[in-house]
């Protein structure tokens, strides 16, 4: 039996792991994405970089150091025009620790309560980093970005996705679905993470080929 090809994703979010495996699987059939619960426990780095790319690299480097596998990590967030691009890199902990999607969404709605519909533009941004050993044994690092433009609505809609998906209506669609109302396939086609993961997939292919 042929062993599945494996890559490490520095996350223990099962929805994110499944999403990454699904999108990378378009290019790399049979790929198995391992998460934090599949490798020995280690101290995860503090995400204190000022941008998504920096935080993604911190996590990918740490994962590679522990797992020895090609390691991928992403950092993403919602950047709201009326909030000068915030919450941005603070998206997951916008309402303070511990991380809580419901509390973050309530805070965002409160902050935008007086903002008219025409000024509620926003975008999800994602940086995906890959750290791996090249054929010469030298560690190599790659980062790609993806953006999904849309707007923040005034009520929670949908049961899928995670984070701010229940409040975000992407522009690049025929209807008015939130990211949380889309099927996984619909979201993958237009999402910030889908774009960035598909962009890095050819690089992952080369890394796994050794």
Phi, psi angle pair for 81, to nearest 5°: -55, -50
Radius of gyration of the chain (CA): 17
Q: What is the pLDDT of residue 1?
A: 33
SS3 130: strand
Are 184 and 22 a contacting pair, CB within 8 Å?
yes
Residue 75: active-site member: yes
Residue 179 is assigned to a ligand binding site: no
* CA 41, 103, 53, 205 torsion-angle sign: positive
Model confidence band, residue 54 (pLDDT cutoffs 50, 70, 90)? very high
Q: Is 110 annotated as a binding residue?
A: no
* CATH code assigned to 6-209: 3.90.950.10
Which own/partner contact pairs does 18-22 have at CB distance under 8 Å and 24+ positions apart? 19/184, 19/188, 19/193, 20/72, 20/74, 20/193, 20/197, 22/184, 22/188
% of the chain with per-residue pLDDT over 70: 98
| Residue 3 pLDDT exceeds 70 | no
Asked whether residue 2 carries a pLDDT value surpassing 80, the answer given is no
Q: What is the pLDDT of residues 59-97, one digit of tens each?
A: 999 999 999 999 999 999 999 999 999 999 999 999 999
Instruction: State pLDDT tens for residues 158-174.
Output: 998 889 999 999 999 99
71 is in an annotated binding site: no
Among the listed residues 75, 101, 136, 145, the single catalytic one is 75
């Amino acid at each position: 039996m042929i062993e599945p090809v494996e890559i490490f994703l520095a996350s223990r979010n099962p929805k994110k792991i499944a999403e990454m495996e699904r999108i990378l699987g378009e290019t790399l059939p049979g790929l198995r994405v391992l998460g934090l619960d599949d490798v020995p426990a280690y101290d995860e780095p503090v995400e204190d970089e000022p941008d998504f790319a920096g935080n993604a690299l911190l996590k990918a480097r740490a994962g590679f150091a522990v797992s020895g596998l090609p390691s991928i990590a992403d950092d993403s967030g919602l950047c709201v025009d009326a909030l000068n691009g915030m919450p941005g890199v603070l998206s997951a902990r916008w309402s303070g620790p511990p991380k809580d999607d419901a509390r973050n969404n309530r805070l965002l709605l409160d902050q935008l309560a007086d903002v008219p519909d025409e000024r509620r533009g926003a975008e999800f941004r994602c940086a995906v980093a890959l750290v791996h050993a090249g054929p010469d044994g030298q560690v190599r690092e790659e980062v790609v970005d993806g953006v999904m433009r849309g707007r923040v609505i005034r009520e929670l809609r949908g049961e899928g996705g995670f984070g701010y998906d229940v409040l975000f209506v992407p522009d690049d669609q025929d209807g008015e679905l939130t990211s949380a109302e889309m099927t996984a396939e619909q979201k993958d086609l237009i999402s910030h993470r889908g774009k960035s993961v598909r962009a890095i997939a050819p690089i992952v292919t080369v890394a796994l080929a050794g």
